[in-house]
Structure 1
Amino acid sequence: MTNEQDFFSREINVLNNSSGSAVYTGSNTLILRKAIDEVGGFPTDTVTEDFELGVLINSHGYESMSTLEPMASGLTPTDFRSMLNQRTRWARGVVRSFYNVHILTNKNLTLPQRLTFLNSYLYWWSFLRRLLYIFAPVIFVLSGIKVVDANFWLLMFLWAPAYFLLHHSLSVASGNIRTERWGEIQETVLAPYLFIPVLLETIGIKEKKFKVTNKDSSSNKFQLLYALPYILLWILVFVSIIKFNYGKFGSEIMYGSVITFWLLTHLFNLTFAIFICIRRPIYRKFERFKLNTECLIKQKGRKFKLKTNDVSESGISVRSNHPIYLDPNLLVTVVIGRKQYQAKFKCDLIRVAFENNTWTYAFKIVKFKKKSFNEYLQIIYDGFNNYLTTERDQWLTAWDVLLINISKRFSFGKGSKKINHQNSDSADFYPNVSVDESAEVNHVSAKMTNFSFDFLVLKFEDSIDDFKDHERIICHDVIFKSNHVSKYGVNSYRFDISNLKKLSKQNHFKELIRKWGIVF
């Protein structure tokens, strides 16, 4: 689902700069201490103290501005329940603050500022409107009650131009971040759960307890229960489509096309609502941030200056132009710096892979000092996450996204299993290096094609079926001992190395792997 927070921050709130009243949304904001003191500190009679504080500061003559460039990154909810709790708090808080500061009659606010905050207030009423849009054609089809009394030609003359011009204007004005279609989906998702809290807050039944938003990636076993309103609405809309069009032909279908169009639109949006509520599986506990900066890798007195690929609160990925041997049984010390921050921590090596013509080393952070951890958080979040998209793909429509969702969700697990890198042939604790060396096993000549410290691969001219688990492979006077042999391809066999510890002390072995370009 298109992130409406991103749309608000990059488009709507930047436009609010024109009135000097960019809405204060809480995160990553710099405020004059003097301004906070002048308005009496943070307000406590609302659950959105940030929004109300911003209004109060504007009413004391200060201006607030939103930057075009992202200066820092934050986290958002990853499950439906947490997202819903957050939006409910925002809705109730903005409604309460609207009345607390008397926005419409506050003479200390300019007219453009009042319109800015009025727009923030009215946004939360759009979900009641969306429910009315969903129920209007359903009520008409199932009960015969006309919610809107209009004929086909009147709708074509008034409604159709307005509807399509609205879609066009948003596509032009939104800077390719989102479309009216995604706005309808967003409203459909939140409508069943937000209209009641907004009504309650409006009549004075307040939300007094501040509920902190959960932003970790843990799954909620009751997630599917939240989809029940959308499932029931989906069934009602589907039944309405069948009943309204059953037995109609020719001009009857044409004159009823507006009703059918709206029902199909709601069915489309509700399908997305169900998918969003169920959500996709999440395999990572923390969000990864793309970062290209220097770091130092240390193990047993050896040091390597490398570049980072990405970082997260639980791990780090680095890249090297050459394969490097690191002992997976020993901890690795990582020193990373960015801007004025520097962090140092201990890691476990969990994966080595050859990707995009570079060697990638993935580490799991296991030991941190508090000061270093705080510095590391600054390294991660002080800036923009370049893994995030900045524009909507114009060629990828909402219909395309729906088909992708259906394909992925009903593939019955094909291609969706989580890979255990530690047990996968595609990734290991050691670099798998392509080599071209002559070798010998039981006086049979072979060509060594791959070497990976824990195994090597030999290719023979003919297929051989009488290998034992314990074999000796000789290559340039280096003797590799194997404790297991398995088929690897056509006339190729994998020999698991059992004497690596002994080999690592031999100069012949060190010279050989350096010849292969491995940093040892």
Structure 2
Amino acid sequence: MARMFILVLFLVFNLVYLVWRTFWTLPLNDGFVAIVGGLALLWAEIVGFFEMILFYLTIYRIDTLSPSSWEGEYPDVDIFIATYNEPLDLLYKTIVGCLNLKYPRPEGVFIYVCDDGERDELKRMCSRLGVHYITRTEHEHAKAGNLNNALKYSKSPYLVTLDADMIPLQDFLTRTIPFFLNDKKMGFVQTPQSFYNPDPFQYNLFQEHRTPNEQDMFFRLIQPGRSRFNATIYAGSNTVISRKALEEIGGFVTGTITEDIATGMIIQSRGYRGIYLNEVLASGLSPENLADLYQQRIRWGRGVIQTFKFHHPWSQSGLTIFQKLMYTSTLTYWYFGFGRAIYLLAPIAYSVFGVVVLQATVKAVLEIWLPMFALSTLVFRLFTRGIRTTFWSHIYDTILFPHVFRGVILETLGFTMAKFKVTPKDSVTRSEFTGQWRLVRVQIILALLSLIGIGRIIVDFLIHGFTAAYAINFFWLSYNFIVLTIAIIFASERPKFRQTERFPIKTAVKVCAGEKYRIAYSYDISETGISLLFSEPVYFEPDKPLILKVSDRNYFAEFQAIVVHVARQTSSCYKYACQITAYDESNYQNLLHILYDRKPMLPEHHQGRSWRLIGSNIKYRKSKFSAMNRKLPRIPINNRLIAYVKGNLKFIEVLDFNYHYVTIRSDKNYPEFDLVLNTTQRILLYCRFVKSMKERSRRQNIHLYKVLNYREVAKCSLQWIESSRRRKFSRWSVPKPPIVRDNQIKLIGK
């Protein structure tokens, strides 16, 4: 009830605001340019208001669907994996995920790799994995033609469409197929397109731990909201479709570069239901750089416009009024660039070029605009349920609008994008920040103009005093400048060193070194490495392979790895980064199931304060990135310990120790000495001088010594560490020195 009350207030305040804007704020006496600018701004606000009404109507209530149980026999299912030029290792993961699907009748699941690239190596891989391979010599109608070709070679009553990178979870079929068995008019079931890697917005702006994926609002709010009106958009992947419904409309719709939205809409117009199951049942790869992101969004925008040219919803007699409105909002969304450009240019027009686009008094601004703006921001945050904020919507739109707007205008005017461009799925690595400044030229120009406008407003304020025009323009210029600055920062692509994603999976790991083993816990896991947590600084021989046995849920993987870096996490925790060096195919597949048969572990809601975005980016971008290769645990001692130098007892300040080496702080460097680490266990290090290093802060020397008997020390209990850190030794607790020291160094008491 409270949500309805706030929504009604939003509508009332916005209507009052638009009436005020229409009759009292237009600059009718300031010339032709001012009138055009004022009308353009008003038009953008009116269109935005009606779009927001449809948006809130869509997401006001989100129904949670769940399939009913089915006790009868399950039907056959075909799985189509559409591919063109995606890497084989990416396709391998998707195929392995499909082979891992649970189904009451496993023999009824048929997997087809639909290859429009005619690759012999992919055909051989499919044969080895035991799945069907389909290709064609003519490649008409891109993805839709590819899928229609596959229909000729399959016959199951239901089919799943997957993009090449979308890895299904084990229960994908058991959660979707029952909808069809309980409802004969079910046309398709769409599930979310979720992503296991950060999208460019999250990654380039260092927000992968604070901000949801940019597409989450569509797949977690808009799609389930549309499902109430049977207006779910078929998104092309992660979908189950009825063959009967598909055959009734003549197969996948061709003639557009986005066949999915037209196919789903026409199925719904024939009286079939298209519902949205808001459960993550497959996950894939987000675009990994700016160029790929822009290419993807331009294709989507142009494809929607093509669809509406040939299959306009208002010409589909089988659609209800609400379905037509929902699909119309899909079209109007892609013209968001017009409104974004107007909002960015309006304050620049006044402050830089002296063009008045809005006339208002301070009192009117405070009484009409300010309450409307505050309430609109509150309502948006409330209804988007923490998935999106107004500020982040402005960031996304500002980053995307120049390229997308140009594409949709060209498509609208008839300059058709005839060729289907597949979004690249190759793994991208970068060793440093890479500025893609040509892609944000428009944002750079607008940011400079906004900065000039801010300067002129300040000067005019100091000369002429406070006015409503100065206040409004200063606010929007400053706000827009912040958003434009973030868009420019976004174009500096962040370094990416890893070819595979790491997942923060916590599970027990058995670490075998020779005949001995220890139990650790994983910190994160990827296809090429794993980080382990130990409660103590365990010694492993550098570069000597370990056998790791990972158990997670009902999966078990065993592989060989070496330690590549050791770091101290806390006072009682050490992290060992290991590189996986060898595994057989069975264990690799189990590792893939551990990694990908789960819901992605990226944020689902906004965390932290958005206004810290620029500051955090400056901080992270100033940080130095360096490769880590410390393969032994550095154990801090920071205590004065007993040593024997040529048979004489001395106290030496020991800084740290890593089994192979020990560092001390001293005015003198001794050629060699015996260092007592623990009197109870009678552990002695035989140390030989290596080199000296100057410590500037204390003007003392730090000396590095090699531990010659490190293998014997490594075999001792690790309880000596805390003892050597904390215990204060006296001459009366000192063990007797060894009587004889020869080439074979022994522990005291042996």
Task: Give the structure-2-normalised TM-score.
Answer: 0.59
The structure with the larger Rg is: 2
The correspondence of residues 118-157 of structure 1 with structure 2, limited to 5 A, is 118-146=328-356, 148=357, 150-152=359-361
8 A contact 1:456–1:496 mirrored in 2: yes
Equivalent residue, structure 2, for 1:113: 323
1:212 partnered with 2:449: no
* Paired residue type of 2:566: V
**Superposition map of 1:368-387 within 5 A:** 368-386=583-601
Q: How many residues align?
A: 494
- The answer to whether residue 552 in structure 2 is matched with residue 338 in structure 1 is yes
Could you tell me whether the CA contact under 8 Å between 1:130 and 1:191 is conserved in 2? yes
- Specify whether residues 350 and 510 from structure 1 end up closer, same or farther in structure 2 by C-alpha distance, changes over 3 A only: closer
- Paired residue secondary structure (1:84): helix
Aligned match of 1:465: 668
Unaligned runs of 5+ in 1: none
Q: Structure 1 residues 360, 38: CA separation in 2 closer, same or farther (over 3 Å shift)?
A: farther
1:442-470 C-alpha deviation (Å, 9 max, x unpaired):
323447775422123568xxx451412x5
Report the Cα offset of residue 295 of structure 1.
2.9
Identity of aligned residues (%): 26
1:404 matched residue in structure 2? 616
What is the alpha-carbon distance in structure 1 between the residues aligned to residue 556 and residue 482 of structure 2? 49
Root-mean-square deviation over aligned CA pairs: 3.5
The match for 1:261 among 466, 475, 478 is 475
Q: Which moved more, 1:239-248 or 1:11-20?
A: 239-248
Alpha-carbon distance in 1 for matches of 2:476, 2:685 = 75
Aligned residue identity for 2:614: L
Helix, strand or coil: the match of 2:313?
A: coil
What's the offset of the Cα at 1:179?
1.6
Q: How big is the shift at 1:348? A: 2.4
Deviation at 1:305, TM superposition (A): 3.6
Q: Given residue 377 of structure 1, which amino acid in structure 2 is its aligned partner?
A: L
Amino acid across the alignment from 1:381: Y
Question: Of 553, 561, 574, which aligns to 1:347?
Answer: 561
Question: Which amino acid counterpart does residue 716 of structure 2 have in structure 1?
Answer: L
Alignment check: 8 A CA contact 1:217 1:286 kept: no
Superposition pairs for residues 42-441 of structure 1, below 5 Å? 42-60=252-270, 61-67=272-278, 69-146=279-356, 148=357, 150-152=359-361, 159-207=369-417, 208-214=419-425, 216-219=427-430, 221=434, 223-244=436-457, 246-248=459-461, 249=463, 253-356=467-570, 357-386=572-601, 388-393=602-607, 396-398=609-611, 400-406=612-618, 408-409=620-621, 413=622, 416-422=623-629, 428-430=631-633, 432=635, 439-441=643-645
Q: How far off is 1:200 after superposition?
A: 1.8
**1:64 counterpart letter in structure 2:** I
Structure 1 stretch 254-263 or stretch 153-162: which is displaced more? 153-162
Aligned mates of 2:669, 2:256 — CA distance in 1:
79
- Partner Cα separation in structure 1 for residue 492 and residue 424 of structure 2: 19
Instruction: Measure how far apart 1:229 and its partner are.
Output: 1.7
Normalised TM-score (structure 1): 0.82
For the residues of structure 2 that align with 1:113 and 1:349, how far apart are their CA atoms?
A: 57
Deviations 1:43-101 (A, max 9, x none): 4433334444443443441322142x544543323432222222222222222233343
Structure 1 Cα separation of the partners of residues 256 and 643 of structure 2:
76
Q: d(CA) in 1 for partners of 2:508 and 2:243?
A: 36
In 2: Cα distance, 1:35 partner to 1:499 partner: 76
CA distance in 1, matches of 2:556, 2:476: 56
SS in structure 1 at match of 2:523: strand
Residue segments in structure 2 that go unaligned for 5+ positions in a row: 1-200, 202-210, 723-750
Aligned counterparts of 1:26 and 1:439: Cα–Cα separation in 2: 72
CA, structure 1 residues 360+32, in 2 after alignment: closer, same or farther (shift >3 Å)? farther
Deviation digits for residues 421-479 of structure 1, max 9, x if unmatched? 215xxxx43463759975534323447775422123568xxx451412x5555773756
The reply to whether residue 8 of structure 1 matches residue 223 of structure 2 is: no
Conserved? CA contact 1:486–1:495, under 8 Å: no
